[in-house]
Amino acid sequence: MLKFSKLVTFENPKSPVAEAYRILRTNIQFSSPDRDLKVILITSSSPDEGKSITAANMAIAMAQSNMRVLLIDCDLRKPAIHRAFGLVNMKGITNILVEGIDYGKLTNVTEVENLEIITSGPKPPNPSELLGSRKMKEFLDAVRGNYDIVIVDTSPVLPVADAAVLCQYVDGVVMVSGYGVATYDAVLQAKANLEKVNARILGVVLNGVPITRNGGYYYYYYYDESGKKKKGSRRRTTGDRPLSVDGITSGEGANL
């Protein structure tokens, strides 16, 4: 059973927020025309910036474009994907890595066509070591051949090393920055930490920006292949209530 209040791309696919996720999907798809992006890591600089709900909605948006998508919860410290989708989190990626269980036996089929999920499973005593292990690489190599895209949600960059060790096994990284949560220095430090391990940062998603009743344009920045900063704009749609990018009305709820 899906928690629709969070999964706006499924509940309200014609909303401005759902459109923002489709724009994100398109930007990712065209960010690397000369290289396949099969496995994408979603992280943030610090907790509570909305990375998990961004990963979930991005996975749904990609599944809606007829791509076969696998969403993996590799935030082994504070897992949230199972809650967003109303799944039981008894077994998951930790069981695959520790016990050698075939991943097909632990894959959850969802109400979203083309989208499957592997939850985190039990919390291990050594998350970073587990995620950086040879078994993790072998697992990701295996799922590459069976899905069009694999979305990996993991812990924030600054508190722990999980995201840094996973970067060696993925094709690109998307950072989520929470509006009013992230600080400039924290984002820069997280970016520097990822660059130290040669992470390929595809871009940054600014999450939770209020949309005013007056409409207008919102602006977004992205980086081209040469690393140069570019700016774009898009007409913002007026709504009855202010919305944040994760689909929660402003002032309600906590980011996952």
Provide, rounded to the nearest whole percent, the portion of the chain with pLDDT above 70.
80
Mean pLDDT (whole number) for 118-127:
97
Q: pLDDT band for 30, please (50, 70, 90 cuts).
A: confident
Is 31 a residue whose pLDDT tops 60?
A: yes
Domains of the chain: 8-236 (3.40.50.300)
Please calculate the CA angle 149-35-66 and round it to the nearest 5 degrees. 30
Please give the pLDDT value at position 227: 39
Out of 166-175, 200-209, 218-227, which region has the weakest mean confidence (pLDDT)? 218-227
Is 119 a residue whose pLDDT tops 60?
A: yes
Q: What is the pTM of this model?
A: 0.82
In angstroms, the CA 62 to CA 28 distance is 10
The predicted-structure confidence for 57-95, as pLDDT tens digits, reads as follows 999 999 999 999 999 999 999 999 999 999 999 999 999
